[in-house]
Amino acid sequence: MTATTSRPSPEELAAVARRARWRIIETVTSSKAGHIGGPLSATDLLVALYFAELDIDPADPKKTDRDRFILSKGHSAIGLYSVLALRGYFPEEELATFDHGDSRLQGHPDMLLTPGVDASTGSLGQGLAFGAGIALGAKKLGRDFHTWVMVGDGEIEEGMVWETVLSAPRFGLDNLTLIIDLNGLQQYGWPAGPDDRFDRSEPVGHVDLERVFTGFGWNALSIDGHDFDAILGAFDRVTDDRGVSGRPTVIIANTRKGRGISFTEGTYKWHNGVATDEQLDLARTELLGTTEDAR
C-alpha cells in the first residue's frame, strides 16, 4: 500500500479525474461504441485507487505482489482503460483503438491482452468470486497484497455475487475489499418517479446494503464516491483493518451516473451513447476548461 504521505492531494486527484472523464467521452464518441454513465460514476474511485492506493508498477504490470483490482462491472472498461493510460500502463493515444479490431483495448476487459488488467470480466456478477479466489490464495501463500473488486449496483442483482458474499467472511478475507459503485441507475431499470432525468432510479434502492453486508459478516462503510477525502478515508480504514477483524470490507460508494458532464449526469439515457460535436465541445469545456484539442 502506498504510504499516506506520498499520496497526491484531493485537488491533484480531481484534475486527473477530469482528464480521465474527458478521455472516456472522447474515446466512446470516436469509437462510436461503449458505455458512458457507468465509467463516469466510477472515475473518481478508479483514480483514487490507481493514483493513491494500489501498490502497483506500470513498468512491471505483472509484479508478483502487486495489489489486484478487478473491474467486475466490465462494461465500464473505458473508465479503467483511461485511468490505466493516465497512470502509464500504455500511451493515451492507444485509447483511440478502443473497440477496434486487433486492439488490446477490448469492449470488455481481457486480462490476456491489456497491461494492468488483472481479470477478464463482462458477464456481470463474476468478479467478486475471482477476487475472493485471489485473496484466498494470497492468504494460503502468506502474501501481503490486497485485492479490490468493483461492482455496480445493478450488477448485484446477479445471484453469483451473493454466493461469494456469503462465503468470503468464512475464509477470513480481510485482504479483500468490494466497492459498490452505487450510481442509482442501470441500463433501463424500473420506473420510480416523475422526473425525466431520474425516473428509473435505484436498482437496489429498497435494500439497506450496510445492514445486509454487516449481517453477512462484512465490514461495511458508506461514503460519497465523488469526495476524494471520503474515498481515501475509507481506503485507510481498510488498511487499518488488515489482519484485525478477519472480515472483508464493502465500501458502498454513493455516486452519480454520468458524473462530471452536465448532459450525462443523472440520467439512465447516457448508460451508453455517442456525443454530438456540440456535446463533445461542451464536455471538453466543462472538464478541461477549454475547447482546444486536448490531445
Partner 1 sequence: MKAQRVVWGETLAELAASDDRVVVLDGDLATSTRSDLVATAVPDAFVQVGIAEQNMVGMAVGLSTLGYRPWLSTFGVFLTNRALDQIRMLVSQTRAPVRVAAAYSGLLNGSAGKTHQDIEDFAIMRAMPYMTVLAPADEFEAEAVFRWAAEFDGPLYVRVARDPVAPVFDESYAFEPGTPRLLTEGGDVTIVSTGVQTSRTAEAVRLLAERGVSATHVHLPTLKPLDVDAFLGLVGDASLVVTVEEHSRIGGLGGLVSEILAERGGPRLVRVGLEDRWSESAPNDFLLDKYGLSPERVADAVAQQLAAV
Q: Which is nearer to partner 1, 166 or 294 (CB)?
A: 166
Q: Which is nearer to partner 1, 162 or 263 (CB)?
A: 162
The minimum distance between CB 17 and partner 1, in angstroms, equals 29
The minimum distance between CB 136 and partner 1, in angstroms, equals 6
What is the contact surface with partner 1 in residues (CB under 8 A)? Answer: 110-112, 118, 120-123, 125-138, 140-141, 143, 159-160, 163-164, 166-167
The minimum distance between CB 242 and partner 1, in angstroms, equals 18
Q: Which is nearer to partner 1, 3 or 112 (CB)?
A: 112
Q: Which is nearer to partner 1, 147 or 201 (CB)?
A: 147
Q: Which is nearer to partner 1, 88 or 122 (CB)?
A: 122
What residues have CB less than 8 Å from 186, skipping those under 6 apart? 152, 153, 154, 200, 203, 268, 271
The minimum distance between CB 198 and partner 1, in angstroms, equals 32
The minimum distance between CB 246 and partner 1, in angstroms, equals 17
